[in-house]
Amino acid sequence: MPLRSDAWYAGRDRNAYIHRAWMRRGAPEDAFAGRPQIAIANTASDLTPCNSHLNEVADSVRQGVWAAGGVPLNLPVVSLGETNVRPTAMLWRNMAAMATEELLRANPVDGVVLLGGCDKTIPALLMAAASVDLPAVVLPGGPMLTGTFRGTPLGCGTDVWRLSEEVRAGTLADEDFLRSESSMIRSRGHCNTMGTASTMGLLAEALGTTLPGTAGIPAADSRLLAAAHESGRLAVELVREDRRPSLLLSAGSFHNAIVALAALGGSTNAVVHLLAIAGRLGVPLSLDDFDRVGSNVPLLVDLQPAGRFLMEDLHRAGGLHAVLGEVRDLLDPDALTVTGRPLVDHLAGTEIWDPEVIRTRGTALQPHAGIAVLRGNLAPHGAIIKPAAASGHLLAHRGRAVVFDSVEDLHARIDDPGLDVDADSVLVLRGCGPKGYPGMPEVANLPLPRKLLRAGVRDMVRVCDGRMSGTAYGTVVLHVAPEAAAGGPLAKVRTGDLVVLDVAARRIDVDVSDDELAAREPAPAMTAALAAPTRGWEQLYVRTVTGADTGADLDFLVGASGHAVARESH
């Protein structure tokens, strides 16, 4: 079949001459004649430390592309380092997706290998691939190896939250906390907990977009380079067989991703990312699907932050396929992968090599895991909670609200000895949604008041319209929609109101009559948050971003545009 790149390179006219001549630069004579042109969408960046090794991975992809008869083309794309980017990497996810989509469409590219790792990079790349609809395969960069401090394994991210709270509680010396810093990051790769990066790498495979058996290979493991080589070969095959995202990704694919999310105890951030990816494809997926599909899936993986172990242990114990093999009957049998075969076909013969890390159905950590979707007068469009990371005794709770209007307000008052708060209080943080921050930061797991930490309290109910790091834990109701800055009821909650959480009933409410709540004015700080930025990406984002309940994409990017380009450049 004709290649898309032929529109640039085939022929004897001036324009074809220009395209070939400028790209030649030592390429073989036949580099433009019938060879699939494979872009390597590479998010390597020194400012995205979890992806800094991807140039080496890209070299192995290149070798695989050449070996299969294609032409590899390194394409640096927008990279987002979760630990560095301010005000939050989520503000830029949609920009990274849009820029990658446009670069793939504008260039003589037939297929693409998507190299990601850190939290927003894989979602952004998948959103782009879905919108441009060129044959694509994801290659996750893999988790780091496990570091230790004083003989104890460190969970990247999770132990930052835990140790920093112990410092505030007065049970860990500040000097000891700082000594652990050099041990936290042992090797190349992304966080070694079941945070967002690990979750999205594994869900990319559950969706069917990676070479089976690739997701979860540690970044420092030489088997990742072998998988990179094979992914390069596969990309050429995808072009020749015309296996595009729109033909592979179905409602069943997202069903399988939700099952995997629950069984893994994955990050709540996956909800907003999967909704956005499905939106680009036109696949019907709603917030309620996460509860409907995932609520009866057992939690099988004993991994931080919901458990004990780390990603290196998961890979050693059998990896994603061993997990999915235990819940095979819950998977969609027809959902395809980039191999052209169903996901379930790749699960034959899977075994669990360490039943402490990966549990069987009969020894599940929790019989019903997944993400619980809550509704009520505080969240008419929905909110979510991760029961696996919460305290069981708080899943049904009634407490007095202590309200913070912004992250700055929180930091200024949370440790005030005079703050009127006790262990039964419900901490409410607003102004942290897509529009309100802007960008929906990972602040929903509010730090507990120092005076309560010193009294031994380690969890409280917290409610927020922002997100929570996948490495974090606690009884946190998040992604509250509509957000406060968009006029949601959260903007009208007052300190002293009674907040009622009932996860079993899927409810989150404030004990205020409908008439009173309707009559209240939003807090002045929430009204001020509606004043949009006046220039640049932030103003475009705030003006067009949708709610968390639909993926927080830009409204004009929902749906696909395909790969056609109407006009020549000369």
SS3 174: helix
Strand partners, 498: 400
Q: Residue 36: what pLDDT? A: 98
Q: How many Cβ atoms from other residues are within 10 Å of residue 341's Cβ? A: 12
SS3 9: helix
Asked if residues 265 and 97 have their Cβ atoms less than 8 Å apart, the reply is no
Q: In one letter, which amino acid is 568?
A: E
- How far apart (Å, rounded) are the C-alpha atoms in residues 367 and 363? 9
Asked if residues 127 and 277 have their Cβ atoms less than 8 Å apart, the reply is yes
DSSP for 413-452, written as a single string: HTT-TT----TT-EEEE-S-STTTTTS--B--SPPPPHHH
- How far apart (Å, rounded) are the C-alpha atoms in residues 481 and 381? 5
Contacts of 194 (CB under 8 A, 6+ apart): 264, 265, 266, 267, 301, 303, 304, 305, 306, 311, 470
- How far apart (Å, rounded) are the C-alpha atoms in residues 313 and 311? 5
Asked if the model's pLDDT at residue 525 lies above 80, the reply is no
pLDDT band at 530 (very low <50, low <70, confident <90, very high): low
The tokens describing 503, both together, are: 């996860």
Asked if residues 452 and 422 have their Cβ atoms less than 8 Å apart, the reply is yes
Q: Residue 334: what pLDDT? A: 98
- How far apart (Å, rounded) are the C-alpha atoms in residues 118 and 530? 30
pLDDT band at 263 (very low <50, low <70, confident <90, very high): very high
Q: Residue 158: what pLDDT? A: 82
C-alpha separations of 172 from 163, 233, 366 in Å: 7, 51, 31
> At residue 440, what are phi and psi to the nearest 5 degrees?
65, 75
Contacts of 345 (CB under 8 A, 6+ apart): none
> At residue 304, what are phi and psi to the nearest 5 degrees?
-60, 140
Closest to 523 (Cα-Cα) out of 497, 501, 499: 497
- How far apart (Å, rounded) are the C-alpha atoms in residues 180 and 517? 47
Model pLDDT for residues 42-92, shown as the tens digit of each residue: 999 999 999 999 999 999 999 999 999 999 999 999 999 999 999 999 999
Strand partners, 442: 467
The lowest-confidence range among 76-85, 194-203, 466-475, 487-496 is 466-475
Strand partners, 429: 404, 464
pLDDT band at 533 (very low <50, low <70, confident <90, very high): confident
Model pLDDT for residues 408-426, shown as the tens digit of each residue: 999 999 999 999 999 999 9
> At residue 356, what are phi and psi to the nearest 5 degrees?
-80, -35
Q: Residue 23: what pLDDT? A: 94
Q: What is the mean pLDDT of the chain?
A: 95
DSSP for 239-291, written as a single string: HHHT--HHHH--HHHHHHHHHHHHHHT--THHHHHHHHHHHHHT----HHHHH
Distance of CA 198 to the CA centre of its chain: 8
**Mean pLDDT, residues 343-358:** 96
Closest to 111 (Cα-Cα) out of 38, 60, 59, 61: 38
Q: Residue 522: what pLDDT? A: 92
The tokens describing 368, both together, are: 């019903």
pLDDT band at 527 (very low <50, low <70, confident <90, very high): low
Model pLDDT for residues 146-169, shown as the tens digit of each residue: 999 888 898 888 888 888 888 988
**Mean pLDDT, residues 464-480:** 92
**Mean pLDDT, residues 534-541:** 92
**Mean pLDDT, residues 466-493:** 93
Asked if the model's pLDDT at residue 479 lies above 90, the reply is yes
Both ends of the chain: CA-CA distance in Å? 26
**Mean pLDDT, residues 324-340:** 98
**Beta-strand runs (E) in 335-430:** 372-376, 379-385, 396-404, 426-429
Domains defined along the chain, listed by start:
35-146+186-361 (no CATH), 156-184 (no CATH), 372-531 (3.50.30.80)
The tokens describing 181, both together, are: 């810093």
Q: Residue 26: what pLDDT? A: 87
Closest to 109 (Cα-Cα) out of 125, 139, 133: 133
| Of 160 and 225, the one with more pLDDT | 225
Question: Angle, to 10 degrees, between the axis of helix 269-281 and the axis of helix 251-264?
Answer: 170
> At residue 154, what are phi and psi to the nearest 5 degrees?
-110, 130
- How far apart (Å, rounded) are the C-alpha atoms in residues 495 and 315? 46
**Mean pLDDT, residues 85-112:** 97
**Beta-strand runs (E) in 60-123:** 71-76, 111-116
Asked if the model's pLDDT at residue 143 lies above 80, the reply is yes
The tokens describing 126, both together, are: 């998948």
pLDDT band at 240 (very low <50, low <70, confident <90, very high): very high
Question: Angle, to 10 degrees, between the axis of helix 251-264 and the axis of helix 287-294?
Answer: 60
